[in-house]
Amino acid sequence: MFEFDPRVERHLIADEGEVIIDEVRKHWAAIVGPMLELAAAVPFLLIMFWVPAEARWVPLVIAFGLAGHATWRILQARMDRFVITNMRVFRVHGILSQHIATMPIARILDISVRKPMVGRIFGYGHFVFESAAQDQGLREIRYVGSPDERGSSIQRVIQRSGLRGAVRQSKADHAGPPDGSWRRASARWR
């Protein structure tokens, strides 16, 4: 039987010790549009009772078309998963055929989080990844719930993997010796 779960576990490199840090499903806001489209099919079904018998097929076709399209969009949102592991980020999506886009943690150059006003109210945002290879299918991940926490978890994975330098030293570490001898030396060079 065809199931509507992308089963991301089967895409892990278990023999290399890859584990899931976070599996991100689309925020419920991603299906608001399709649900409204599904609700729009109901009036067309009701119109059938007032339309002449020879033309009843028109609202019926429109209702089934709207319902079919809305159901497809809901399934697309259900089957779209973004996964953060200790080695990479990847996205699995698709209904009839599955598409997998992956990016090693080392290739992530920058992560931007866009939170539209509605997203700030309802707690979702969109990730935009910048990487060395721009054509990878992971450029934008839309409708990510709790985007700040998810962005922090990606940053933690990057930091723990040792791919970025150590945490920057504080200003006190860069201020020089406590006796101010660096100021005297720089004054001599003026």
Question: Predicted confidence band at 160 (pLDDT cuts at 50, 70, 90)?
Answer: confident
- Is residue 161 scored above 90 in pLDDT? no
Calpha distance 190→181 (Å, rounded): 15
Q: How many CB atoms lie within 10 A of CB 144?
A: 25
pLDDT, tens digit, 9 for 90 and up, residues 20-45? 999 999 999 999 999 999 999 999 99
3-state secondary structure of 167: coil
pLDDT of 135: 59
Q: How confident is the model at residue 164 (pLDDT cuts 50, 70, 90)?
A: low
Give the whole-number percent of the chain exceeding pLDDT 70: 81
pLDDT confidence band for 175 (50 / 70 / 90): very low
pLDDT for 99: 92
**What are the residues whose beta carbons fall under 8 Å from the beta carbon of 130, sequence distance 6 or more?**
108, 109, 110, 111, 112
